[in-house]
Amino acid sequence: MPGLVPGIHDFLFLGQDVDGRDKPGHDEAGIAGVVMTYIAKPKFQHPGLPKNDLGFTHRDYEGKVSTLCAGCGHDSITASIIEACYELSIEPHRVAKISGIGCSSKTPDYFLGNSHGFNSVHGRMPSVLTGANLANRDLIYLGVSGDGDSASIGFGQFAHSIRRGVNMTYIVENNGVYGLTKGQFSATADRGSKSKKGVMNTDNAIDLVAIALQLGATFVARSFSGDKTQLVPLIAAAIRHKGASFIDVISPCIAFNNHAGSTKSFDYVREHNDAVNRLDVITGREAISVDYAPGTVQVVEQHDGTRLALRKLDADYDPHDRLGAMTFLQKHAAKGQVVTGLLYVDPDADDMHAHLDTVETPLNRLEAKDLCPGTSALEKINASLR
Amino acid sequence: MKPTDISAPDYFHKVVDCQWACPAHTPVPEYIRLIAEGRYSDAYMINWKSNVFPGILGRTCDRPCEPACRRGRVEETPVAICRLKRVAADFKDDVKHRMPKVSAKNGKRIALVGGGPASLAVARDLAPLGYHCTVFDADPKAGGMMRSQIPKFRLPDSVIDEETDYILNLGIEFKGGQRIDSLKKLMAENYDAIFVGSGAPRGRELDIPGRKEAAGNIHIGIEWLASVSFGHVEKIGRRVIVLGGGNTAMDCCRTARRLGGEEVKVVVRSGFEEMKASPWEKEDAIHEDIPILNFMVPVAFTHDNGKLTGVTFQKVKAEYDAKGRRNLVPAGEPDQTIPCDDVLVAVGQENAFPWIERDCGIEFDKWNMPQVDAKTFVSTNPKVFFGGDAAFGPKNIIWAVAHGHDAALSIHKMLSGEDITERPLPEVHVSSQKMGIHEWSYDNDISGDKRYKVPHRDKVIALKDIRTEVELGYDVKLALGEAQRCLNCDVQTVFSAPACIECDACVDICPMDCITFTENGEEDDLRARLKAPSPHHDQALYVADGLKTGRVMVKDEDVCLHCGLCAERCPTGAWDMQKYLIDMTHAGSTCQTKARSAA
Number of residues assigned to chain B: 599
Enter the DSSP assignment of B181: -
ipTM exceeding the 0.90 mark: no
Per DSSP, the residues of A307-344 read EEEEEESSTT--TT-HHHHHHHHHHHHHTT-EEEEEEE
pLDDT for A129 equals 98
Residues of A with CB under 8 A from a CB of B: 25, 29, 31, 36-50, 59, 65-66, 69-73, 75-76, 78-79, 225-226, 228, 252, 254, 258, 266-267, 270
- Domain assignment of residue A4, yes or no: no
pLDDT for B136 equals 97
- Domain assignment of residue A158, yes or no: yes
Inter-CA distances, B260 with B28, B255, B256, B264, Å? 40, 9, 7, 10
> Would you say the pTM of this structure is higher than 0.90?
no
Could you tell me which residues come within 8 angstroms of residue B79 by beta carbon, excluding any fewer than 6 positions away? B18, B32, B66, B69, B71, B451, B482, B485, B486, B487
At A23, is the pLDDT very low, low, confident or very high (cuts 50, 70, 90)? very low
For residue A26, the SS3 value is coil
Distance CA A70, CA B26 (A): 36
Contact assessment for residue A148 and residue A182, using Cβ atoms and an 8 Å cutoff: no
Per DSSP, the residues of B196-225 read E-----EEPP---TTTTTTGGGEEEHHHHH
What's at B241, amino acid-wise? Answer: I
| CB contact residues (below 8 A), chain B span 271-310, against chain A | none
For residue A45, the chain B residues in CB contact (below 8 A) are: 511-513
| CB contact residues (below 8 A), chain B span 466-485, against chain A | none
Q: How many CB atoms lie within 10 A of CB A380?
A: 12
For residue A72, the chain B residues in CB contact (below 8 A) are: 503, 505
Between B438, B446, B509, which is nearest A44 by CB? B446
Cβ pair A226:B512 closer than 8 A: no
pLDDT for A295 equals 63
pLDDT for A309 equals 84
pLDDT for A371 equals 85
Task: Give how far B78 is from chain A: nearest CA, Å.
Answer: 14
At A21, is the pLDDT very low, low, confident or very high (cuts 50, 70, 90)? very low
Q: Which of B41, B169, B148 is nearest to B94 (CA)?
A: B41
pLDDT for A288 equals 56
For residue A84, the chain B residues in CB contact (below 8 A) are: none
Name the closest residue on chain B to residue A49, using Cα atoms: B532
Cβ pair A39:B559 closer than 8 A: no
Per DSSP, the residues of B106-125 read -S-EEEEES-SHHHHHHHHH
Structural domains of chain A, count: 1
- Domain assignment of residue A311, yes or no: yes
- Calculate mean pLDDT across residues A133-140: 97
- Domain assignment of residue A7, yes or no: no
Beta strands in B41-128 (DSSP E): 109-113
Residue A321 sits at φ, ψ, to 5 deg, of -105, 95
Distance CA B197, CA B114 (A): 5
Between A38, A46, A70, which is nearest B559 by CB? A46
- Domain assignment of residue A206, yes or no: yes
Cβ pair B571:A69 closer than 8 A: yes
Q: Give alpha helix (H) positions in A136-257.
A: 147-151, 155-163, 208-214, 228-240
Q: Please state whether B104 falls in left (phi above 0), alpha (psi between -120 and 50) or beta.
A: beta
pLDDT for B311 equals 97
- Domain assignment of residue A324, yes or no: yes
Between B512, B569, B570, which is nearest A46 by CB? B512
At B588, is the pLDDT very low, low, confident or very high (cuts 50, 70, 90)? confident
Contact assessment for residue B563 and residue B399, using Cβ atoms and an 8 Å cutoff: no
For the segment A42-91, what is each residue's pLDDT rounded down to a tens digit?
999 999 999 999 999 999 999 999 999 999 999 999 999 999 999 999 99
Name the closest residue on chain A to residue B73, using Cα atoms: A47
pLDDT for B563 equals 95
What's at B97, amino acid-wise? Answer: H
> What is the H or E stretch that residue A301 is in?
strand A297-301
Distance CA B81, CA B65 (A): 7
pLDDT for B95 equals 96
Distance CA B288, CA B229 (A): 20
pLDDT for A8 equals 43
With a cut of 50, say whether residue A24 has pLDDT above it. no
Task: Give how far A41 is from chain B: nearest CA, Å.
Answer: 7
At B144, is the pLDDT very low, low, confident or very high (cuts 50, 70, 90)? very high
Q: Please state whether A32 falls in left (phi above 0), alpha (psi between -120 and 50) or beta.
A: beta
- Domain assignment of residue A76, yes or no: yes
Report which of residues B337 and A299 the model is more confident about.
B337
Q: Which of A285, A241, A266 is nearest to B517 (CA)?
A: A266
Report which of residues B519 and A281 the model is more confident about.
B519
Is the CB of B438 inside 8 Å of chain A's CB atoms?
yes
Distance CA A278, CA A229 (A): 9
Q: Give alpha helix (H) positions in B279-324.
A: 279-287
For residue B533, the chain A residues in CB contact (below 8 A) are: 46, 48-50
Inter-CA distances, A107 with A124, A154, A229, A270, Å? 16, 18, 20, 24
At B590, is the pLDDT very low, low, confident or very high (cuts 50, 70, 90)? low
Mean pLDDT of chain B: 94
pLDDT for A200 equals 95
CA torsion sign, B41 to B42 to B44 to B45? positive
Cβ pair A41:B511 closer than 8 A: yes
- Calculate mean pLDDT across residues B139-152: 95
What percent of chain B lies above the pLDDT cut of 90?
A: 91
pLDDT for B438 equals 82
Range of the domain at A59: 15-384
pLDDT for A300 equals 84
For the segment A364-375, what is each residue's pLDDT rounded down to a tens digit?
999 988 888 889
Distance CA A317, CA A308 (A): 16
At A290, is the pLDDT very low, low, confident or very high (cuts 50, 70, 90)? low
Q: Give alpha helix (H) positions in B127-188.
A: 145-148, 157-168, 183-187
For residue B267, the SS3 value is strand
Between A42, A50, A266, which is nearest B511 by CB? A42
- Calculate mean pLDDT across residues B48-75: 96
Cβ pair A75:B563 closer than 8 A: no
CATH number of the domain that residue A160 is part of: 3.40.50.970
With a cut of 80, say whether residue B227 has pLDDT above it. yes
Q: How many CB atoms lie within 10 A of CB A22?
A: 10
With a cut of 90, say whether residue B571 has pLDDT above it. yes
Enter the DSSP assignment of A110: G
Mean pLDDT of chain A: 88
Could you tell me which residues come within 8 angstroms of residue A295 by beta carbon, excluding any fewer than 6 positions away? none
For residue A280, the SS3 value is strand
Residue B428 sits at φ, ψ, to 5 deg, of -120, 130
- Calculate mean pLDDT across residues B227-255: 95
Between B75, B533, B568, which is nearest A70 by CB? B568
- Domain assignment of residue A8, yes or no: no
Contact assessment for residue A253 and residue A234, using Cβ atoms and an 8 Å cutoff: no
pLDDT for A60 equals 96
Contact assessment for residue A108 and residue A134, using Cβ atoms and an 8 Å cutoff: no
For the segment A98-120, what is each residue's pLDDT rounded down to a tens digit?
999 999 999 999 999 999 999 99
For the segment A338-364, what is each residue's pLDDT rounded down to a tens digit?
999 999 999 999 999 999 999 999 999
